[in-house]
Chains A and B, each alone.
Chain A
């Protein structure tokens, strides 16, 4: 890892090497390690150290970016020259804004020494324990245990400087039996908040409970979606809240802002400062991130904007822009769904006939304006009958409109930091939803 002084020194060198009208430097440092296990043994165990220096120059209303992971003077001079060459080679952009000057940022604390200094042996011992548990249960475990540190800084020749460092720990496990499986995953900046054994136990219980799956008929069902399933579905909305997405007329909120298109019980913020969130308190230009109310009681209220998009759409920048130049604009990266008070158990008890879904998989847009998504259930899909989990069922394919789904939410649980595989981590609640469309069933 680099100290702030070292990052300032690299930025200073770049500024010295550049004679562009304006120059911006991004520095990214990653030290990551991941232990991967399957068949109750470690089969991959990796570590990486990466340092990237990325330079954006502006010349007469033109901008471009060049990036290197070589930090000797010659390479830094070359990356500046490459950025300038790229910048010069394009038409002038009349919409390009001057770089922002110094900013003030809210504080976030997401660095934990215990996580930064976790060792391969720490991870291996935890894996050995869950593998032992799986073997004792005559089950097979597969998963990952990873820890790491990321560090980033952005500086420009107008005097802006911002830096952020945070740790990351993640444990994910699938427990397999001949005809069933169960899954659990958690992710946090703080390793001590992860409990691999508890996650393994949960996955193990799901696998055992879904043995000998029966085939339920496709159709419209009441579903109880655990937080990971909710995350991977609603996560597909994130770019629809970008000002650029609406401006480009490819957002599902195009012509729907201010209209009540979701249920009264749906409220959504983007909030990098939420205690269960992660990430830096500034965006790709160094603009401070703001907490934004995106949906208020079913009504989409606000979008997020980079500086350029805000000017184009006559709005105020919200601190959600991506690094320039890009054609995506911005996006909310710290979604926080408002939750409720119902536990998953209470949702099950209140359901005469329904489906309990642990996670969903391979989700893709089918209809981008109605926001119909397709995908599969996976690793723990259960029939709920007369208020009880009645047993495992074969996995379904769904084709479900997410706007429709969020109009049909009957119960909400407390919001948690959820992890899935299709969306980045967000704070979402479990949900009970009526009329969820399962279109077909697979063979397992």
Chain B
């Protein structure tokens, strides 16, 4: 049925004069559960089924989408896409060009063990309520929250060059949060990460592996203890980031600036541009010699939110070296932008949130490769530093130079030992200065492929999940404390 829908769209687009067309039929199912203060908060399921048709006509792009999945509805949608493309041509400067891609006929599905939609909701709620209860037992906790999110995306892609690709992605995520209000301060701790916890292309086995109930007491106790912790220091110091915060640091200060649509000005009005102008490719020392970053959508990198078989313009998943021994070596590209910078092939990073959104360049799994340090050895090797864990606040300028992050908790490192807890930690800096200050990255055993489920980009806005593999790392001479400085 999905194949028929896509083919009907391609037929109409061709008849209406499109020189190229592709169609994505997507059937998306969501389940959201949450608890708050021991009660069920959200309990909802949704399904969304429709088609998006992208065409080139008169040398310009057009896109239309519909959930009227009749022959007439799809034909009208494809005709509308061609009409829009012809209108685009009223304000065009040159014809769209794209690099070649082979026609693929294939199917792909991420592996998972337990279908989360087949797990009884009672069981899922019981787990969340148990974790919620464990947090609320801790005196001083004023708000307890827990959540699970599951998403199944079945999609069929067909293009006028002959591709026909069927993919199924199963995504799971879960997390807990304890919040405390005391005096004039709100503190919180999240597990295993902020943004609703950990998210991967996986089944319910991911949720079970997190042991939310087991971690709940510690999370709550830390949220309470933060009120009596010392204020994190301000000044220039050595900084150690846990792997989840380093994952977000990668997302904001590497993942976004390497998007070629940003570099070429296509996002200038909204998400912004990038300091990574084209002449910097192959020349810029992005980081220190030990920094190696890849954009890897292949399953062998891990089953992350940026993992797939093919991107949403039919290009196979691949690994692109982004930073190689500290040198800037690659962008995130698609078939169109690859032409602009003289690449022979697309980097395969076109992704869409849903059938009613145009695919745009998105991060896949943007990961820093593991280093050689054991975590314990890195701490022992550090004389005076602040260790920051779990993101609380994040902000970066529209060219991705200047950033400021704060985390939920920090720990003082003195004489090679983790000592007292610190509250309200923050750090800030300039992207390339920061990555060039990296002098230690922990090894594979400490490396986690984190999921960021809420990356917003594009107009109309699209929310996309991205993956970020990281292990804890150390950075020298970093400015700390600007967010909380009293001036």
Contact = CB atoms under 8 A, between A and B. Distances in A.
Nearest to A399: B483
Interface stretch (A39-47, A342-350, A407-415): A39-47
A176 B84 CA distance: 26
Secondary structure call for the A interface:
strand
Contacts of A37: 91
Contact of B186 (A368, A376, A443): A368
B393 A90 contact: no
B61 interface: yes
Nearest to B356: A48
A143 interface: yes
Interface string A21-55: 00000000000111111111111111111111010
B116 to A, nearest CB: 14
Nearest to A122: B87
B242 interface: no
Interface string B449-467: 0000000000110000000
B142 A249 contact: yes
Contacts of B41: 325-327
Contact of B398 (A35, A63, A378): A378
A293 to B, nearest CB: 26
B402 A440 contact: yes
Contacts of A374: 393, 395, 404, 483
A193 interface: no
A172 interface: yes
B80 interface: yes
Interface string B65-88: 111100000000100110111011
B288 interface: no
Given A41-B93, A374-B483, A440-B428, A67 B45 contact: yes
Interface stretch (B10-18, B117-125, B148-156, B319-327): B117-125
Contact of A443 (B266, B275, B459): B275
Nearest to A244: B36
B375 interface: no
A36 B459 contact: yes
B159 interface: no
A330 to B, nearest CB: 14
Interface residues of B, number: 86
Interface string B31-63: 000111101111111111110000000001111
Interface in A380-397: 395, 397
Nearest to A132: B91
B269 A443 contact: no
A50 B355 CA distance: 10
B172 to A, nearest CB: 18
A8 interface: no
A319 to B, nearest CB: 21
Interface of A: 32-52, 54, 63-70, 79, 82, 85-87, 89-91, 93, 95, 119-121, 123-125, 127-128, 131, 140, 142-144, 146, 172-174, 176, 181, 183, 219-220, 248-250, 254, 325-327, 361-370, 372, 374-376, 378-379, 395, 397, 399, 421, 437, 439-444
20 contacts: A35-B88, A40-B93, A42-B90, A45-B60, A45-B62, A46-B460, A65-B45, A86-B45, A86-B121, A87-B43, A91-B129, A124-B87, A124-B90, A174-B269, A176-B268, A327-B36, A364-B394, A369-B184, A372-B484, A397-B397
